[in-house]
């Protein structure tokens, strides 16, 4: 059973690790519904 397909997802990316935009592309391709996305810098 898919973890992502059909689920609403909030994304928290990191500027120096994996950006939110990359995570968004991945989860959208897996069939998730992105409801929030941000890319922060925790340094």
CB of 41 to other proteins, least distance (A): 10
Cα–Cα dist 31/2, whole Å:
9
State which H helix or E strand residue 22 sits in. Answer: helix 20-29
CB of 43 to other proteins, least distance (A): 9
Cα–Cα dist 34/32, whole Å:
6
7 binds other proteins (CB under 8 A): yes
Cα–Cα dist 11/16, whole Å:
15
CB of 23 to other proteins, least distance (A): 5
What is the contact surface with other proteins in residues (CB under 8 A)?
2-5, 7-14, 17-20, 22-23, 25-27, 29-30, 39-40, 42
């Amino acid at each position: 059973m898919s973890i992502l397909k059909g689920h609403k997802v909030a994304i928290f990316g990191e500027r120096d690790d994996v950006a939110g935009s990359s995570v968004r592309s991945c989860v959208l391709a897996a069939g998730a519904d992105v409801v929030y996305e941000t890319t922060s810098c925790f340094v």
